[in-house]
Amino acid sequence: MRRVNENPAARRAIVAAGAAVLLASAAVLYATGHTVVPGSEDYRPGPVWRVWVPVVAAMVAIRLVPWHTPSGPVDERLRGKMRGRWPRLDLFVLVVCLLGFAAADPVLSSVLHMVSPVLTPLSYFLAKVFFLFLVPVMLVGAAGVLRYDTGPDLPRLSLWVSEAWRWGGLAAIAVYALVAVSPWAAQPPMAGTEVPDRFTAVLVITISLLSSPVLEEIFFRGMLQTRLEFVLGRWPGIVTASLAYAVFSLVGGGLPNGLTVALAMTVCVQGVAGVMYGYLWSRYRNMWLNVLLHSFITLLAPVPLSFWG
């Protein structure tokens, strides 16, 4: 029996299933009237379709710049590294880490609440750092326990970027930034409303940047998606990692409109953004680009432009 990444029909089925989940999620939101994205650490409030506009524009730019990518040597380095591992075992460990993250947040919240209610919000950050960074790095990272082969390490491949074409994603980030502040995308809060003082804002932004762009891109793209691509194929890996990113973004949040609406909303927002992040990572293998784009979106959400004036 052929592996999934060697079976075109299986790869197409996975991508089609992901598209069906997105369409079904959008249908649920429009059928129930929940079409406005609530404000969060990553997104400003606004209609769902306005979140999609800059994502689509960025993905077009990712495809166009450059038109031809001399990615053969980079892909071969990546395949060589994955061939020296057991990617399915790595995936099992990463899935267990995700489940541990989901389970640890409420437990830590209860424990910290008993110490002091002020400490309760730290539960999400602590669970995330431990299960989405420390444990994965210790087990499946370049120097982790499950490392059993030599070869080019993924961190070196993704951080030491010397090829000029692998910075082509800067054009996509610029396109996303321009479209995101245009009239066709969700708008920032009105000037003078709900603006935190500068010290509080800097603290919130620092924590947000560490817990969202850095940890999430390293885990979901650098670790999880890379192995899913090797096992399932490129686009099935992107789609599967994006759905996992969407579902586990619900950890630590409430469900004011019920689980069904929450799942539909996260698929339509975080899931769609995850496809963009995944495509960016798959095309350039440049973690700096992923962190930069994710950081821009995170920064754009809580701070109105007037804050910097």
pLDDT tops 50 at residue 191: no
Q: What is the pLDDT of residue 77?
A: 77
Instruction: Label residue 309 by pLDDT band (50, 70, 90).
Output: very low
Query: What share of the chain in percent tops pLDDT 90?
Result: 50
Is 143's pLDDT higher than 50?
Answer: yes
Cβ–Cβ under 8 Å, residues 227 and 91: yes
Confidence grade of residue 84 (pLDDT, cut at 50, 70, 90): low
Which segment of 15-19, 80-84, 111-115, 285-289 scores lowest on mean pLDDT?
80-84
- Token pair in block for residue 8: 């075109």
Task: Specify the 3-state DSSP secondary structure of 38.
Answer: coil
pLDDT above 70: residue 249: yes
* pLDDT tens, position by position, 104-124: 999 999 998 888 888 888 889
Nearest-angstrom CA–CA distance, 135 and 35: 37
Q: What is the mean pLDDT of residues 232-261?
A: 93
Within 10 angstroms of residue 83's Cβ, the number of other Cβ atoms is 11
Place of tokens 């979106």: 297
Distance CA 44, CA 16 (A): 29
Whether the predicted pLDDT of 174 surpasses 90: yes
Beta strands in the chain (DSSP E): 36-37, 46-47
Nearest to 266 by CA among 281, 245, 252, 280: 245
d(CA 90, CA 69): 28
What is the pLDDT, as a whole number, of residue 204? 58
The residue length of the chain stands at 309
